[in-house]
Every structure is written in C-alpha cells, then in structure tokens.
C-alpha cells in the first residue's frame, strides 16, 4: 500500500513512462477509425484491467473494425466468431475428431484460442453457445473432452450486439452479462466526423494498414502497474456507496428509486469499478485515482448489473437514468 507522497510521485513517473504506448495505440487506431474516442478508450480500459467488454450500438458504427484494429496494433492473435442461431458450442471452443491415420482422437482447437475474441452479435446464438464462453471468460481456460487448456494472456472477449433488431435473438442471461466488465453504448458519430467518413469512402482510398506499436508483454506489464495505482480509502468508500445505493437506495435518501430497482450490483460491480477507475487513471498518466475516474466509468460498469422493475419500464426509465441519479446523490469525496 502506498502511503507517502514520495511513493506516489515515483509511481507517477513510472506510469508516465509506461503509459507512453497509449498515445501510439490511439494514433494507430485513428488511422482507420474516425472519431469514436469514447469507444476506443473503453476498449483500452478493458485491455488494461483484464476485463471483457460488451459493445452495444446500431450497425455501421465501426465496432468490429475498432476491435480488429486494436488487435493488429498490439500484434495479438485475433479471432472473429459470427454468432448465428445455428452455431454450436464446438464451433467456438473446439472438439475431438478422429484421426484415421493415427487411429486416435485428437483435439481440434476452436477460434476461442486467441488473444482477442470478437463475438459478433453475441445475442444471435442460443444459450448453449453463450454459456460455452462462461468458463473461458471467467476461468481463462477451456475443457475439451477430459483435458483442460489454459488460454494465452492477454485474453479478451469483445462482444457486440444490435439493440434494434431483436427478432431471432437470445438475450444474454444475467450470469453471462455479469461476466462483462463494461457494457458500452455506442452512439452515432458527430457531423464533422461523419463528413470525414463519407469523404474517405468516396475517394476510394485504400484503408491504411494498422501497424504493431505495442507488444503483448508491454500490455501485461501495464496491467501490473494499473493494480499498483494508489486509491485512497475515501475513494474506496465512494465506490462502495455507489454500488450499495443500487441495492438499498433508501439508505442513501433515494427513496424514489426503491420501486424502480429489482436488484442491484453484485460485489463484482465494486471490484470492476475500482479496477476500471485505476485503468482510467493510467490512461490519463496518473499514479492515483480521483473521483472523476470513478464517475466517468461508473455507467459502463453498472448499467448492465442493475435489474429494473416493471414500474421503471412503464415510466420509460432505464438503468443509465438510475446510475445518473445515484451519482448525483452520493457525496463526492
């Protein structure tokens, strides 16, 4: 535990040096992606925190391209799995096949054996396939037959889903969606950004190739540094107040939310909010967490961990409205 100002100053210097790759990563991704800085920063937070990310937005917002570009910039092994209703668990994790020459069963590994997994339109696949991801996401391992295989680090599942077309989809169960550290809502680009996108496509210029600017070893070292970032006890209690307010809003003078929340965030919400706040501080090249780090990432960590009642749906209130109300009510340290 860091206690002195000198310790924090030294950590600050280390982080400013170690975090230099963040600028290189963002610059390389921006060669291909116009705008979407919010989405890219959330992908980096997931990468630095060893947490999975669920991206939700309408088609055409560069979700898939952003994930692929990030994998290329890190020079990590990338797999894209297009989730469809006829997909089987073996199509994701692999299976045992019979080798006629050797007269024995051998393992054929599935696309899950990679560093970056893009689970495209994850809500298109049935529950069996979705649950096949559970062990990999939580335990970082896969079991095929009687053998368990450890997955290489870094291992990151980046999933997308379309919020509009819900016909023929299988909504993610709570146990599955809770495995995602962040649920990021992707919005349309701004007018100027979209103008750039249109011009790029009309000119017919070949898409620039994304070059490797950071190694997987640098990412793993950065993860260790992120966990060392100093978090004051007041910030820890601030995080707990936010999460506990989702469970017992009346204790925080939020009685108007009591009939809107069916269940609140689990302890995983507190853990992930603390980790994500540290990663946010790292992206800003700081060796300590400030309340703004917590506030800026709170919606993405908590929105998919709150269950709303029928009354909330009838009043057209979503989880984001609830989180905003909690952030306004809790005293900032």
> If pLDDT is split at 50, 70 and 90, which confidence band does 167 have?
low
At residue 166 the predicted structure's pLDDT band, cuts being 50, 70 and 90, is low
Domains and CATH numbers, the chain: 20-218 (3.40.50.300), 230-329 (1.10.8.80)
Identify the top-confidence range among 75-84, 231-240, 254-263.
231-240
Q: Give pLDDT tens digits for 86-96.
A: 888 888 888 88
Q: What residues pair up with 55 in beta bridges, in sequence order?
A: 160, 184
Interaxial angle between packed helices 233-247 and 267-283, expressed in degrees from 0 to 180 and rounded to the nearest 10: 140
The answer to whether 160 and 63 are in contact (CB under 8 A) is: yes
Mean pLDDT lowest for which of 175-189, 218-232, 290-304? 175-189
The Cα 285–Cα 19 span in angstroms is 6
**In the structure, how many helices (H) and strands (E) does the chain have?**
14, 11
77 and 215 in contact (C-beta within 8 Å)? Answer: no
Tokens of 66: 């952003």
**Lowest mean pLDDT segment, chosen from 19-23, 33-37, 214-218, 294-298:** 33-37
DSSP3 helix / strand / coil % (the chain, rounded to 5): 50, 15, 35
DSSP for residue 116:
E
What pLDDT does 209 receive?
Answer: 81
Say how far apart CA 330 and CA 109 lie, in whole Å. Answer: 48
pTM for the model stands at 0.87
pLDDT digits (tens, 9 = 90+) for 132-152: 787 788 888 888 877 888 888
Q: How far is CA 53 from the centre of its chain?
A: 2
Model confidence band, residue 165 (pLDDT cutoffs 50, 70, 90): low
C-beta separation of 312 from 333 below 8 A: no
Q: Provide φ and ψ at 79, rounded to 5°.
A: -130, 135
- 163 pLDDT band (50/70/90 cuts)? confident
**Contact at 8 Å (CB) between 265 and 300?**
no
Q: Find out whether 22 and 218 touch, Cβ atoms under 8 Å.
A: no
Highest mean pLDDT among 22-36, 171-185, 293-307: 293-307
pLDDT at position 296 is: 93
Q: What is the mean pLDDT of the chain?
A: 85
Distance between CA atoms of 285 and 287, rounded to whole angstroms?
A: 7
pLDDT of residue 205: 65
Look at residue 233 in the predicted model and tell me its pLDDT. 92
- What spatial distance separates the first Cα and last Cα of the chain, rounded to whole Å? 20
**pLDDT over 90 (residue 280):** yes
Q: 112-128 burial, b if ≥16 CB within 10 A, otherwise e?
A: bbbbbbbbbbbbbbeee
Q: What pLDDT shows up at residue 2? A: 47
Q: Are 124 and 83 in contact (CB under 8 A)?
A: yes
> Over the range 211-250, which residues count as b (16 or more CB within 10 Å of their CB) and which as e?
eebbebeebeebbebbeebbbeeebbebbebbbbbbeebe
């Amino acid at each position: 535990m860091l206690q002195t100002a000198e310790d924090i100053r030294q950590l600050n210097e280390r982080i400013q040096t170690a975090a230099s790759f963040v600028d290189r990563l963002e610059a390389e991704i921006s060669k291909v992606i116009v705008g979407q800085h919010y989405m890219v920063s959330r992908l980096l937070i997931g990468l630095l925190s060893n947490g999975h990310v669920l991206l939700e937005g309408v088609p055409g917002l560069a979700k898939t391209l952003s994930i692929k570009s990030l994998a290329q910039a890190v020079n990590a092994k990338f797999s894209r799995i297009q989730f469809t209703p006829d997909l089987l668990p073996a199509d994701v994790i692999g299976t045992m096949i019979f080798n006629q020459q050797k007269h024995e069963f051998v393992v054929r590994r599935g696309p899950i054996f990679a560093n970056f997994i893009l689970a495209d339109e994850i809500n298109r696949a049935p529950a069996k396939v979705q649950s096949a991801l559970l062990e990999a996401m939580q335990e970082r391992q896969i079991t095929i037959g009687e053998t368990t295989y450890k997955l290489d680090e870094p291992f990151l599942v980046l999933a997308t889903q379309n919020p509009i077309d819900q016909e023929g989809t299988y909504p993610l169960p709570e146990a599955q969606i809770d495995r995602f550290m962040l649920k990021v809502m992707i919005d349309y680009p701004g007018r100027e950004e979209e103008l750039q996108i249109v011009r790029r496509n009309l000119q017919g210029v070949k898409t620039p190739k994304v070059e490797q600017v950071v190694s997987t070893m640098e990412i793993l070292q950065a993860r260790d540094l992120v966990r060392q970032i100093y978090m004051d006890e007041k910030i820890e209690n601030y995080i707990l107040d936010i999460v506990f307010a989702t469970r017992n809003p009346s204790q925080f003078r939020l009685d108007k939310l009591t009939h809107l929340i069916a269940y609140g965030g689990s302890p995983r919400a507190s853990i992930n909010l603390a980790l994500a706040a540290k990663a946010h501080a790292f992206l800003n090249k700081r060796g300590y967490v400030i309340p703004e780090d917590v506030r800026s990432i709170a919606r993405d960590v908590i929105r998919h961990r709150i269950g709303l009642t029928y009354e909330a749906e009838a009043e057209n209130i979503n989880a984001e409205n609830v989180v905003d109300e909690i952030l306004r009510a809790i005293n900032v340290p």
